[in-house]
Amino acid sequence: MNDAQFGQVVAQYEKLVYTICYQYTKNHHTAQDLAQETFLSAYTHRESCPADSMKPWLARIATNKAKDHLKSAYNRRVRTEGEDGLPESSGTVLFAKEDSPESLAIGKETLEKIKGDIYSLKEPYHKVAVLYFLEEKSVEEIAASTQRPPKTVHTQLYRAKRLLQEKMKGGGEDGAVP
């Protein structure tokens, strides 16, 4: 397939590819970016696609690009705060990319304060809190790396959450368990 033929393919399927990307991301700009990435990838691998299956091939590339974007660390980097005031792993974004610079700065300040509170915990809570909340390790992974029983890690995480709640409410600065 030469460049002119590929240009015709782009013109024919650009709306389809954009629609697929938009259905996954629900964001106009992200869908446009992913559609461009889809066609770039298709152009790079155009010789591996049979001419009679161009439409499903492009649809599959667009779907995979959108799914990869949704799973990416960039897309998941900011989480909502849970009941305990710490980031949850629900995948809900605390603020959208389109928010004002002021709200972005406030969100960053809040995130930095949470990180600072986690780093200020005293042992044995410091290590498990950093591994769990900041490095997103599972309890089993933490237990293996710290050579502690999983039940102990659960208890220490529970107590670390309580300490962090107190710090966020303005109390509990000494790192002792309330």
List CB contacts of 47: < 8 A, sequence separation 6 or more: 1
Q: What domains are defined for the chain?
A: 3-80 (1.10.1740.10), 94-170 (1.10.10)
pLDDT in tens, 91-130: 444 444 455 566 566 667 777 787 888 888 888 888 888 8
Q: Which DSSP helix (H) or strand (E) runs through 58? A: helix 54-71
- Tell whether omega for the bond before 124 is within 30 degrees of 0, i.e. cis: yes
CA–CA distance, 142 with 63 (Å, rounded to integer): 35
pTM of the predicted model as reported, rounded to 2 decimal places: 0.44
Task: Look at 33-47, 105-119, 134-148 and tell me which has the smallest mean pLDDT.
Answer: 105-119
For residue 39, count other CB atoms closer than 10 A to its CB: 20
